[in-house]
Amino acid sequence: MNLQQAADTKVTANSLEIRGISKAFGRFPALKDVSLQARDKEFLALLGPSGSGKTTLLRVLAGLETADAGEVRFDDEDFLAVPVRQRRVGMVFQHYALFRHMTVAQNIAFGLSVRRRAERPSKSEISDRVADLLTLVQLEGLDKRFPSQLSGGQRQRVALARALAIEPRMLLLDEPFGALDAQVRRDLRRWLRELHDRAGVTTVFVTHDQEEALDLADRVAILKDGELVQLGAPNELYEAPATPFVYDFLGAACRLPGEVAGGKLTVADWTIGAPAGSPEGPVEVFFRPNEVDFASEDSPGLIAQVRGASVRGPLMRLDCLVAGVPMELEAHGRRAPAGVTPGATVRVKPVRPKVYAAG
């Protein structure tokens, strides 16, 4: 049975449940009572800025850090009580961590070849596994090369193959594309998602790149200052961010102060019906720079002075002063809407404003 057949026939449930995990380094709390779940064979992204705790949580799962409190259950067993060697976790780091003196094949086989004799596959079995993995990661014919003879993207594929060689129950990826340029990152994103689906393992992926997380993951856990802020499907998070932080973190955002009273939202001199669920009183109003309509100065909307315009690919970016606040708005196409030219005064109407209590 080859690697693909094994992945297709494996039916063991490998759901991951993290309950109340806390971890401090001295007086710095890296994780604060974090609880979340990854479903069987799910691709879960841990997303957040530097210092949010995402890598610390991954290292706890890998056994590289010890939690101060909480538990982790995987396949309904106490995962943190399992010795690290027996957890069968494959981990891939940002900087590959390949052995420079070993060939591609030797790097991939390393985790198998260092097992205790009673658990070690035969040389022929290891050779077959390496061949299957080279095909899986699309590196056939490169088995005798050394890491220095590979591109960055190829090295990361070798690192992933090495992690998969031990037939992991869980795959942990710590910013695996962080050292690669933008185009290679985009290419490898698509490939990694396909690889995950074919290998059929529960995958936890750490990144600070919002686009990467939203493109790749089945669900995304957003962390901030060691706490879980929101967990959900990518589209759910983008369409219904729970907090101003999540809204701002998941894409370009424009923000204005406002007031909600009697079901009406007032921003500067513009009043509309408040979106459903809006809190009463002082609020912050968020909207995306590409989700606005432009109209003439005598139309409803927020007063905006257009200070400049520039074309970047299919988008026109407009430098505006909206209700007195500098903003860069976007219009699709190489031409701005009628009347929206540098020096003009127009009205801007956010299409889908999101309202949060001011704080």
From 219, 201, 239, select the one nearest 47 (Cα to Cα): 219
CB contact at 8 A, 210 and 47: yes
How far is it, in rounded angstroms, from Cα 333 to Cα 267?
Answer: 28
14 and 61 share a domain? yes
143 and 272 share a domain? no
Lowest mean pLDDT among 112-121, 315-324, 344-353: 112-121
Sign of the alpha-carbon torsion through 256, 260, 264, 269: negative
Query: Which pLDDT does position 176 carry in this prediction?
Result: 85
CB within 8 A of 59, min separation 6: which ones?
65
Residue 144 has pLDDT above 50, yes or no: yes
The last residue of a domain, from among 246, 262, 289 = 246
The last residue of a domain, from among 246, 267, 293 = 246
215 and 259 share a domain? no
Once rounded to an integer, what is the mean pLDDT over residues 30-35? 98
Instruction: Grade residue 9 by pLDDT with cuts at 50, 70 and 90.
Output: very low
223 and 295 share a domain? no
Q: Which domain holds residue 179?
A: 3-246
25 and 162 share a domain? yes
How far is it, in rounded angstroms, from Cα 140 to Cα 355?
Answer: 53
| Widest pairwise Cα distance in the chain | 82
For residue 247, CA distances in Å to 210, 240, 250 come to 11, 8, 6
pLDDT averaged over every residue in the chain? 90
The last residue of a domain, from among 194, 225, 246 = 246
222 and 326 share a domain? no
pLDDT, tens digit, for every residue of 57-102?
999 999 999 999 999 999 889 999 999 888 889 999 877 789 999 9
133 and 268 share a domain? no
Instruction: Grade residue 119 by pLDDT with cuts at 50, 70 and 90.
Output: confident
Number of domains in the chain: 2
236 and 304 share a domain? no
**Which CATH number fits the domain that encloses residue 341?**
2.40.50.100
Query: Which pLDDT does position 180 carry in this prediction?
Result: 78
Coil, helix or strand at residue 156: helix
